[in-house]
Amino acid sequence: MNSSMQLDRDAYEREMEDEANGRDDAILTHERVGSDLDYTNSNIGSDMMKMMLKEREESEERRRKGMWVEDDNERSIFYGDFPSLPEIPCLSSSSTSSSSMVKYSSSSSSSSTCSASSSSTSSWTVVRAENEDGVVENHQNREDPGIETAIAASDQPMECMDVLEELGGMDLLDSSGIWDPSSLFPCDTDDEEQQNHHHQELEQKNQEQDQVLSEDLAMVFFEWLKSNKESISPEDLRSIKLKRSTIECAARRLGGGKEGMMQLLKLILAWVQNNHLQKRRKREEDMQSMTSSYPFHQQQQNPFPVQVSISNPVFQTPNPDPNQWVSHSPFDPTFSQPPPPASPSIMGYVGDGVFSPGNNHFHCSYSPPPDYQMFGSSSSWSTHLSPYNTTFPNTSSPPFLGFANKYNSGGVQVHGVGESLVKMAPSATKEARKKRMARQRRIYYHHRHQNHHQHQHHHLSANPNCTNATQQAEPGNWVMWSSAPTPSSSSSPTLISPDAPSLRTDPMQPQQRQFSSGRQGWKPEKNLRFLLQKVLKQSDVGNLGRIVLPKKEAETHLPELEARDGIPIAMEDIGTSRVWNMRYRFWPNNKSRMYLLENTADFVRSNGLQEGDFIVLYSDTKCGKYMIRGVKVRKPESKQEIRNPGKMQRNPSIASSSSNADGNSSSPSILQTSPA
DNA sequence: TAACCATGCAAACCA
DNA sequence: GGTTTGCATGGTTAT
């Protein structure tokens, strides 16, 4: 895993260098000239056809005149013969009624062939939509025509850079190999000349199909505009930026030729469409949340649900509207799950967060906070590429965690082109990355201090969208727990030997440990942040049904309690996924507080926990919910009872384990109770 | 010496 | 009368 992470990091570094060196490929952008689209213009179709044919003729003429290379950047994304969008009459500014123009403009950069870009490993894809969150936040005034013109016309690379920096600041672009376009659109990088030659051959080969392709693509686009005229705004279309080389690679990856281009177009349009829908839903959710002041309501409403389903190697092109087409043909249709009716998810249905390591198929949903909404869609395509890579920066997930988890990709290969289509490029410069990293660290540490407060807002209920525990790859706090019931218990506490080396390491310590992940029924978990552990005392496992929690950890990691009545807190049993409705509260005690977890009797009983066992609390960094795990310490009952019945709590070592606020000690109780 | 926390125990609550 | 709730006490550890 480390090597994989390192590779990802290296790839990212290389890419950053390339970007810093200004190796910009042509950036295909479209810009809006007017203000509105008139998708209903009856002349759209015919005009589109005419312009496409004209474009194709001009393209052929340029090729005949040997202008291919010089004019390369002017080629449309569709192998030069698909008309550039600005020339589609229905979108053209020259049109009287339709005043929006979608244009694929190119930067004045150098070669934009796939090979060239691949050689610089900078063939990243930028698909940006203004309705992506974050951008919206920052550029909402784009609704202003004047400002919009200025922004929309900025087809310069720097705009992309800014956007990328913005993205990077949100942690979702960082430094994973999945951002390495070469891994997404693998192109031969051996010889640029060879590549050009090959490219030209392809051109000739496809020349005869170009006309048909143009028409088909035009019709597809036209149909799409018609079907989405009410849901897709010009802004949505305008904000697409694609590197031409990426498009070529993507199309090739999608089957090449006409089919590939067709699929690519569909993917792009589907993405724009869905992204827009997501934006709209966000607005609706925001309106709803404004009407409700109860945090739990917001949690339940899931103001920005993004559900993803990444099935290696399949990319899905979900479409919330069954009447609208999506592209599936290049992919395994078996992975195409229907989106939930109520979910406008750009990625479609995903289930409930179940990780299925067997098929490399991870289902997850998350609800990015507004601060990260920019990735509400794109990140969902990009950051779920690995089943081990699912941390999103939400309120309970510091960005740094997400960043870290991107390195924790588990080496899962990503093959879906569509994923890369929406993959935001990494920030442009190393400097920017450094700043971003520093910012991430600040955010992370800041988050740790405010985490409990946020948890209050998220309430303490299990997020229905995220039901299974997953292991979190937080640096310095990485634990990997089994979640399967152990044979020794009808419930789910982990039964471990006190002699187990893993237990000699405190969960608070940096570690990467895994309990018998290879055993049947055991599965890796992630996204769990260790909060605290408590060696259970007699009073904890008694019939009082309350467990005293270590004060410092409780105050650090659990929600701040205003009233001593505390708050209800839902604890999901990691092993059984059962949710225990407990209460987290405190007692005044000697000018201080004494924190307790109440209503624990059932949990203790269900897990068969006894004195000397311990519980571990985690928080799910994705959902913000709390997880609990009972860990049974294997000890011969007879020996234990004989030794010191009812006296264990007086064992200084044991006491220290629970009272060690820093949690830096090992688990003395385990060691102490070990009969070895 | 202060803070933490295990637990004893009395008051309140309930059947 | 049993159970639950809440507080106080005192042992232990950290500073």
DSSP A562-628: SSTT-EEEEEEETTT-PEEEEEEEEEEETTEEEEEEES-HHHHHHHT--BTBEEEEEEETTT--EEE
- pLDDT given for residue A620 in this prediction: 87
Q: Are residues A224 and A117 in the same domain?
A: yes
Q: How far apart are CA A331 and CA A337, in angstroms?
A: 12
Q: Which amino acid is at A232?
A: I
Q: Quote the pLDDT of residue A2.
A: 38
Instruction: Identify whether A568 is part of a domain.
Output: yes
A655: which nucleotide lies closest, measuring CA to C1'? C12
The DSSP annotation for A416-449 comes to -HHHHHTPPPPPS-HHHHHHHHHHHHHHHHHHHH
Nucleotide nearest the Cα atom of A594 (by C1'): B5
CA A669 – C1' B8 distance (Å)?
24
* Alpha-carbon span A356 to A217, nearest angstrom: 37
Q: A328 in a domain, yes or no?
A: yes
The answer to whether residue A78 sits within a structural domain is yes
Same domain assignment for residues A55 and A129: yes
Give a yes or no: residue A445 inside a domain. Answer: no
Do A370 and A434 belong to one domain? yes
**Shortest-distance nucleotide from A586 CA to C1':** C6
Q: What is the spatial distance between Cα A480 and Cα A483, in angstroms, rounded to a whole number?
A: 9
Please indicate, yes or no, whether residues A501 and A403 belong to a single structural domain of this protein: no
In a domain, A405, yes or no: yes
**A538 C-beta less than 7 Å away from strand B:** yes
**DSSP codes, A47-109:** HHHHHHHHHHHHHHHHHHTT-TTTTGGGS-TTTTTSPPGGGSGGG-TTSSS-------B--S-
What CATH number did the domain enclosing A583 receive? 2.40.330.10
What are the residues facing A380 on neighbouring strands? none
CA pair distance A571, A579, nearest whole angstrom:
5
Whether A136 and A59 map to the same domain: the answer is yes
DSSP string, A260-280: HHHHHHHHHHHHHHHHHHHHH
Nearest nucleotide to A651, CA against C1' atoms: C12
- As a whole number of angstroms, the distance between CA A104 and CA A89 comes to 14
- Asked whether the bond before A668 is cis by omega within 30 degrees of 0, the reply is no
d(CA A167, CA A532): 33
Q: Beta carbon of A540 within 7 Å of strand B? A: yes
Bases of chain C with protein Cβ within 7 A: 4-14
Quick one: tokens of A409? 């990709």
Output the pLDDT for position A357: 26
Indicate if A501 and A639 belong to the same structural domain. yes
Domain co-membership, A231 together with A379: yes
Question: Is A457 (CB) below 7 Å from strand B?
Answer: no
Angstrom distance, A590 CA to B3 C1': 9
Q: Are residues A239 and A385 in the same domain?
A: yes
The reply to whether A666 has its C-beta less than 7 Å from any atom of strand C is: no
Residues A500 and A434 in one domain: no
Residue appearing with tokens 């924190």: A595
Quick check: A652 CB within 7 A of strand C?
A: yes
Residue with tokens 């192998």: A79
Q: Is the CB of A361 under 7 A from strand B?
A: no
Give the number of other CB atoms < 10 A from CB of residue A240.
25
Element (H, E) at A539: helix A538-541
**A223, part of any domain:** yes
Reduced to 3 states (helix: H, G, I; strand: E, B; else coil), residue A114 is helix
In whole angstroms, B15 C1' to A544 CA is: 19
pLDDT for the residue A563 = 83
Find all residues with CB under 8 Å of A129, minimum gap 6, and list them: A135, A235, A236, A239, A240, A271, A272, A275, A276, A377
- Bases of chain B below 7 A from a protein C-beta are 3-9
Rounded to 5 degrees, what angle do the CA atoms A638, A643, A649 make? 110
Do residues A185 and A324 share a domain?
yes
Looking at the structure, do residues A664 and A534 belong to the same domain, yes or no? Answer: yes
Asked if residue A455 belongs to a domain, the reply is no
Q: Are residues A382 and A520 in the same domain?
A: no
Q: Which domain holds residue A546?
A: 494-673
What's the structural domain count of chain A? 2
Residues of chain A with pLDDT under 70: 1-251, 253-255, 257-258, 264-265, 267-526, 634-676
The integer distance in angstroms from the CA atom of A641 to the C1' atom of B12 is 35
Nearest residue to C13, CA vs C1'?
A656
Encoded tokens for A393: 């920066």
Instruction: Give the CA-to-C1' distance from A590 to C5 in angstroms.
Output: 18
Compute how many other C-beta atoms are within 10 angstroms of the C-beta atom of residue A664: 9
